[in-house]
Structures are given as structure tokens and as C-alpha cells.
Amino acid sequence: MRSWEWARPVRPVRREVLSAVPELEEGRPPLLFVPGFGHGAWAYAENWLGHVAARGFSAHAVSLRGHGGSDPAPEATLRAYAHDVVQVAAGLPRRAVLVGHGAGALVVAHAMARYPARAAVLVAPVLGGWATFGTAVRRNPLGTLPAVFGAGLRLNRKQLFSGELPDADARRHAARLGRAARRAQWQLLTGADPEPAVGEPPVLVLGSPDDRVVPASALTQAARRYGSAPLLFPGMGHDMMLDARWREPIDAILDWLVKDPSRDDRG
Amino acid sequence: MPTSTEPGQPDPETTTLARGPDGRPVSDRGDTVCVIGAGASGLTAVKNLAEHGFGVDCYERETGVGGAWNWRHDRSPVYASTHLISSRPFTQFPDFPMPDHWPDYPHHSQLLSYFERYADHFDLRRHIWFGTEVVRVEPVGDDRWDVTTRSTGGYGPERTSRYAAVVIANGHNWSPKLPRYEGLEQFRGEVMHASSYKDSAQLRGKRVLVVGAGNTGCDIAVEAAQQASRCWHSTRRGYWYAPKYVFGRPADQVNDMLLALRVPLRVRQWLYHRTLRLTVGDLTRFGLPKPDHRVYETHPIANSLLVYHVGHGAIAPVPDIERFHPHSVELTDGRQIDPELVVFATGYLPRFEFLDGKILGDDEGVGRPRLWLNALVPDHPTLAVTGLLQPDSGIFTLAHWQAVLFARLLRLRANRPERAAAFAARVRAGAGERYSGQVKDSTRHWFEVGHADYLRALERALRELESK
Ligand SMILES: Cc1cc2nc3c(=O)[nH]c(=O)nc-3n(C[C@H](O)[C@H](O)[C@H](O)COP(=O)(O)OP(=O)(O)OC[C@H]3O[C@@H](n4cnc5c(N)ncnc54)[C@H](O)[C@@H]3O)c2cc1C
Ligand SMILES: NC(=O)c1ccc[n+]([C@@H]2O[C@H](COP(=O)([O-])OP(=O)(O)OC[C@H]3O[C@@H](n4cnc5c(N)ncnc54)[C@H](OP(=O)(O)O)[C@@H]3O)[C@@H](O)[C@H]2O)c1
């Protein structure tokens, strides 16, 4: 019984959704990409959306409230972010695959408890808790510590991209980064675990052992939570959709979907 | 299975032949579950059964989904102006929210488009045989069921298929409840039940008497206040007319805030009485009867406009009808009025014309089933009813969880039969349980549930099922 959710529905906002659809609709499930904190839908529009559409899937990316081109929302909570994802997913013509990156993976995990996703993909997931915080502090104390006191969490270029990405690109992307709402940031550390997913969606976890935000151990842990092992892409930074070798992980995701993981599961 | 909007028949590929008791062929649908009706409750049953891995055949007598909310359907009780009485978060399915830019109280056409999107999003239409009516459901051995169907309207031959389980989702707001009155046959004016009321043009310029103060009666009285030349509103008791908004928010959301804080019923009733007193004030000054019950003891009325029009003299409240005369209606206080049109908004009665009433525990034949959680049938573990509810909220979340419970129960039967058998004892013990506070005795309260109490009971049942 979710009395509070009934009593206090999340405030509606205008949300930015960027899309790329294939020329020929082939009956494949649509993908909905959810950016991590500080990122907007633009992060996926750079490389992934077009590529996904070229491979015959329709691709959509939402900017969580307060990010990218969506309305500002300084008081947003994780619940509001999950609401944004479920709203967009339910607005798609067919059951969607949810893809979350960074803290967007945690938002996806929450959304999965409110929407029976076709499948879910967690890319370099930041699922919260103090361990994540520990890593972040060690790698980037100046960007992280102030966040505890309500300032914006700042990630630097070295954490997000590998050395292979041309410096100009890295600067351009870093300049677009925004920040998540204070309460949501705080919930990332202290919030309750997501409720179990509804509809038993298959879940794929992938990341890079050289990610300077999410350590390899966190990837293994995240994958174990969903009963699998992570797919690893060595040599890439945290922002896999923007890094120089962005093509490899997205191809792996689409290959996994083409195999139709839900079939194996159900028999 | 092919998609079909034509009168359909089960997929021949998976069919093997058995013989029914009368020697007619019966196609055996194996482990497939049959769902009767593709209204909101039927759709959520199809979705959740499919999600739990079951094959599903759903039969729908109309040619589209949405049931009552498709106002083109000949049995739809919805009229042009119908808006929800339960606000959006109370009404949507828990795993498929309505768009958050919709109004707090959406229009019936939005509801229909919501159900159509639900059906498409979860690819449900491939399970549905439209234009096909269920005419008989009979138990055969092994807890299996023979379901006989034919094209709606009685064309074509009957077909019988055997199913592992059946979900009845035929709705309970389509078969009119018409009270009997002395002299009604001799009455020369026009008489209709609210189920055939569609549009306020039907009232224009007429002297109209509306009977009944459920949400339908109140809506029609409000329309009559604006369109008819006169409007009398007859009720056999006084009610609490709750506004749709209080304290700047939809009223049901305010109430759930109190529920979330676990404020006890008595205190909530007191608060409610205070609030109504401070807003609309004492209604008896308009000639409305004083309620003979506390708030929450009759199905809630959510209508901000009724009192408004009574206060403007456009609706004249009158007591119950004593009898009809050819050119007038006599009221219980002895007054005579002369309406040209009488609209009976006296509600609906449940009907399961395809099933022996005893199976649902209606031993006295009054039409009232005896179930646990308004859904599970004692001694028939593979039969369930969904949507047989009259909640103080939207019905759809409740129907969703009913469907989930039944799907899990069926899965348990397959995987752990001994545990499912233990659960059957629970169903028997719980039959007839109520999930609301005290309510006034009336057919309209047969299925009345408090949504919070009811959802908690369902949650407990789901946990019991998983844990034992
Ligand atoms: C005017 C009005 C307003 C309402 N407003 C609200 C509201 O605001 N909120 C709310 O939650 N509820 C409201 N209700 C209650 C309403 O009954 C439910 O919202 C909802 O329609 C119930 O859905 P259902 O699927 O159980 O039944 P229905 O919508 O009646 O659907 C039953 C379906 O089964 C089909 N069927 C029936 N018998 C057979 C058969 N033998 N063979 C094959 N198919 C069959 C019918 O054709 C129909 O499509 C309102 C009701 C009325 C009358
Ligand atoms: N969304 C909306 O706007 C909307 C609109 C309409 C209806 N609905 C819903 O649809 C359902 C059905 O509503 P409804 O209004 O059609 O029916 P209802 O709630 O059953 O109301 C029937 C009314 O008729 C009266 N009545 C019944 N039998 C009578 C008799 N023999 N003599 C005199 N009066 C009699 C009842 O009085 P008693 O109280 O004395 O029994 C009651 O006032 C409800 O769930 C309702 O909430 C929603």
C-alpha cells in the first residue's frame, strides 16, 4: 500500500526527450536511455541514439528534471527522477528496455519497481551507498566532498573519459555537465535500496575495469544483485557513451537484446 | 495466435479434441487461462497472467477494449460528461501511470485512450477474441472449466473450449437495478434508467425527476439543473456531498494523507464533518435531508456542483417516491409533482448469466457472490473474479493486484501443489470477509471496500502465498 505516493503525487514537469527512430519499424522493443547525475539526454544523442536507430531499434533519451533541456527542479528526489523515467517509458508505444548510466542506473532500478520493463541495462552503474562515496572521495576529493554539504557533485574529465578521447571533445562534454538536486544526491548515499523489480525483467550490467568512478568490484556486485556477471570493456572511462570507443558497449547491448534475453528466462 | 477483431475461435494448432458430456467436441486448451471481458479488469488480468508465463485467451463481446469506458458500447453506463471521481493517482494502474500532464480528474474519453494504450503497450490484443460472447462456464473434473462461446448477438455456432482456469471480469455496472413502484406502468411520462442516459440534450427543456444520489444520480441532476426546465432530485436518505477539492488538493489525496498517518476512522470522520460544515455548511437549510449515517458509511459521492445548484434553486431536493399516477408522481411526504421524464439512477446489479450462481457461493439466489478478497472462490481454486469491487478510490489498482494474486496462486499450484492446497483452506475460511468500516445496508454496498484496508489484506495474502 503506497499511501504517500497517492497522497502526494510527484509534480509534473516538462521533460526533454531526444529520439532517433529507424526508417523501418521492425517490431523491436524501444530503448529508453537514462543519463546519470549531471548529464542530460545530450550525452546519448552524441553517438548512441543514431547508432541504435541505424540498427533497427527506436531510441529515446530523457533528461531527468533539472538536467539538460528539462524544466529546473532544485528540490527533486530520486522518486521524482524515477517518476520521469516511468512517465516517458509508459508513453512509448510498446514495452521499453530501460538503459541507465551511472546514477541513472539507480534511477532505472527504482523505475523497474514501478514499471515492468522489457529488459534493463545498467551501464557503469552507481547504485549508491557509502562505498561509492569512498571511491569517489579517493579519486576526486575536491569534486566530491563539498557534495556532502549540498554543493554540486563535480566529476573531472580524467574520471569520465579515457586518454583516447581527443582533448577538445572531452572539454566540450565536460562543459555541458550540470548537477543533480541536493536531495537526490544525498539519497544516492543514504537512500533505501530499490524495491524488487516488477515483471521479472532480465538485466545486463556492463562497465569498464578502468572506470575511475565505478570500481570493478562494484560492477561485479551490481551484476550479482541481478544474478549475472558484468560485461567488461577495458580501457574506457566512466562515460562509455561519449568515450572514443563508444561503439563497443552499445553494440554489445543490442546484440544481447537481439538474442531476446526474456525468451531464455521464461522458457 | 493471429490478431483478430473478427469473431474468433481458439487457435486450431494447439487444439486436441475431447468430448463434452453431451458428446459435442471440446477443444482442449491445455494450461491456457480464460479471461472473460476486456474492460479494465480483464485487460489487467490478461497482462499479469501473460507476465507470469501463462497462455491466455480473452473473450470480449464488444469489438474493442475498455468495457464501460468505451461509451459506444451498447452496455456502457458512461455519459458524455463523465469525468473520473477518483483522482489520477488513485485511478491509474500501479505499473502504468497516466500521463502526469493530464488533469486531476480525466474525462472518460481519456480513460478509453489510456486502456487502449495499455493494451498496445503490453501487446494484449493478440490474446483477445473480440465480438465473442461467453454463454456458459461449467466446471469439469480436475478443477478445469468448459467455456462455451458464440459470436455476440447469437450468430454462428457455439464452441466449447476447456481451460485450466477462468478469470471472470465481466464488470458489474451494466445490468440496471430498477426499483418497482405502484402505478409505474400507467405513468404517461417518459421513464429511463441512467444506463441509457448519454447526453444532456435528452433533458433539454423538460421537467425532469432524477431518482438516486449515487455519483450517477448527482451528475445527472447537475446536468438537469442546467438543461432541463425543472429538476427534482429524489433520495431515500440524506448524504454527505463531498467536494472534489479540499485544502487546494483533490479530496481523496487529502484523505490518503490522513490514512498514511494512520489517523483512526473516528477522527477522520470528525475532521470530515468539520470540513464540510465549514465549506458547504448545514445542508438541511436547503431542504436536503440530514444524513442518517456518518461519512464513509455510504459509497462516497464526489460532486462539488450538486450543492451549488441546490443553493441556486435549480435542483429541488425531494424525498422518496410513494407511487406513480398517470400524470404525476406522489412522494412519501404526500406532495405530487408532474415530471415529463423520470431518470432512475438507482445503480446496477452484478450478473453472471453464464454461470451457476451456486458456484460463486450465491446459495440463496439473490445474486450476491460469497468470495474471499472479493475475488477467490471457495472450493474452486482455479476460478477468480476481478473488479467486483466498489472502492472509495479507483478500481484499477485493486483489480491489478487481484490479478497478480491469482496468477501467483496458479503458479504455486503448478510448482508446489501442497502449498496451494493449504491456501485453499485460507480461501474457504475468509469467504465473505469485508474490507470497509460499517456501511448502510443496500445492494450498492455489497462490494464496498475501503481501498487501504483492502490493499493491505491483499498484500497479506500475497505474502502468505510466497512465504508458507
Ligand atoms: C458512470 C460511471 C463512472 C465511473 N467512474 C469511475 C471512476 O471514476 N473510477 C473508477 O475506478 N471506477 C469508476 N466506475 C466504475 C467502473 O465500473 C469501473 O471503472 C470499470 O469500468 C470496471 O471495469 P471492469 O473491467 O471490471 O468492467 P467493465 O468495464 O464493465 O468491462 C467488462 C467487459 O466484459 C465484457 N463482457 C461482459 N460479459 C461478457 C460475456 N459474457 N462474454 C464476453 N465479454 C463479456 C463487456 O463487454 C466489457 O467489455 C464508474 C462507473 C460508472 C457507471
Ligand atoms: N466517475 C464518475 O463521475 C462516476 C459517475 C457515476 C458513477 N460512478 C460510479 O459508478 C458506480 C455506480 O454508481 P451509481 O450512481 O450508478 O449507482 P449507486 O452508487 O448504486 O447509487 C444508487 C442510488 O440509487 C438509490 N437507490 C437504489 N435503489 C433504490 C430504490 N429502490 N429506491 C430508491 N432509491 C434507490 C441509492 O440509495 P441508497 O443509498 O439508499 O441505497 C443510491 O442513492 C459507483 O461506483 C460510482 O462511484 C462514477
Q: In chain B, what residues touch A199 (CB-CB under 8 Å)?
A: 51, 95
pLDDT at B282 over 90: no
Q: Whole-prediction pTM value?
A: 0.93
Nearest to A6 among B90, B101, B459 (CB): B90
- Lowest mean pLDDT across A144-153, A244-253, B391-400: A144-153
Residues B76-102: tens digit of each pLDDT: 999 999 999 999 998 999 999 999 999
Q: How far is A165 from chain B (nearest CA, A)?
A: 39
pLDDT tens for each residue of B40-80: 999 999 999 999 999 999 999 999 999 999 988 888 999 99
Beta-bridge partner residues of B16: B28
In chain A, which residue's Cα lies nearest the Cα of B104?
A9
- pLDDT, greater one: A15 or B242: A15
Chain A nearest-CA residue for B118: A90
Share of chain A above pLDDT 90, in %: 64
In the predicted model, is pLDDT for residue B400 greater than 90?
yes
HSE-CB at B58 with a 13 A cutoff on CA atoms is: 33
Q: How far is the CA of A233 from the centre of ligand 2 (A)?
A: 63
Q: In whole angstroms, what separates CA A212 from the centre of its chain?
A: 16
Q: Starting from the CA of residue B300, give the closest ligand.
A: 2
How far apart CA B218 and CA B305 sit, in angstroms, is 9
In whole angstroms, what is the distance from residue A165 CA to residue A240 CA?
11
Q: Which of B294, B205, B300 is nearest to B243 (CA)?
A: B300
What is the share, in percent, of chain B residues with pLDDT greater than 90? Answer: 70
- Centre of ligand 2 to C-alpha B165, Å, is 33
- Mean pLDDT calculated for residue range A210-215: 88
Taking the CA of residue B204 and the nearest CA in chain A, the distance in Å comes to 39
Reduced to 3 states, what is the DSSP secondary structure of residue A31? strand
CA distance A144 to A37: 13
Q: Which residue of B has its CA nearest to A115?
A: B95
- Shortest Cα distance, chain A CAs vs residue B277, angstroms: 23
CB-based contact A198 B455, cutoff 8 Å? no
Which chain A residue has the Cα nearest residue B49? A199
Band (A50; pLDDT cuts 50, 70, 90): very high
Residue A263 has pLDDT above 70, yes or no: no
Average pLDDT over all residues of chain A: 88
Question: Are B456 and A200 inside 8 Å of each other by CB?
Answer: no
Residue A6 with chain B: CB contacts under 8 Å: 89-90, 252-253, 256, 393
ipTM for the predicted complex: 0.89
Which residues in chain A touch residue B93, judged by CB atoms under 8 angstroms apart? none
> Per residue, what are the HEC states of chain B?
CCCCCCCCCCCHHHCEEEECCCCCEEEECCCCEEEECCCHHHHHHHHHHHHCCCCEEEEECCCCCCHHHCCCCCCCCCCCCCECCCCHHHHCECCECCCCCCCCCCEHHHHHHHHHHHHHHCCCHHHEEECEEEEEEEEECCCEEEEEEEECCCCCCCEEEEECEEEECCCCCCEECCCCCCCHHHCCCEEEEHHHCCCHHHHCCCEEEEECCCHHHHHHHHHHHHHCCEEEEECCCECCEECCEECCEEHHHHHHHHHHCCCCHHHHHHHHHHHHHHHCCCHHHHCCCCECCCCCCCCCEECCHHHHHHHCCCCEEECCEEEEECCEEEECCCCEECCCEEEECCCEECCCCCCCHHHHCCCCCCCCCCCECCCEECCEEEEEECCCCEECCCCHHHHHHHHHHHHHHHHHHHHCHHHHHHHHHHHHHHCCCCECCCCCCCHHHCCEECHHHHHHHHHHHHHHHHHC
**8 Å CB contact of A7 and B101:** no
Q: Cβ separation of B260 and A9 shorter than 8 Å?
A: no
For A243, the 3-state DSSP assignment is coil
From B91's Cα to the closest Cα of chain A, the distance in A is: 10
The DSSP bridge pattern shows strands A231-232 and B249-250 to be unpaired
In what order do the strands lie in the sheet containing B230-234?
B190-193, B341-344, B207-211, B230-234, B316-318
Task: Give the number of whichever ligand sits closest to the CA of residue B448.
Answer: 2
Report d(CA B293, CA B171) in Å as an integer: 28
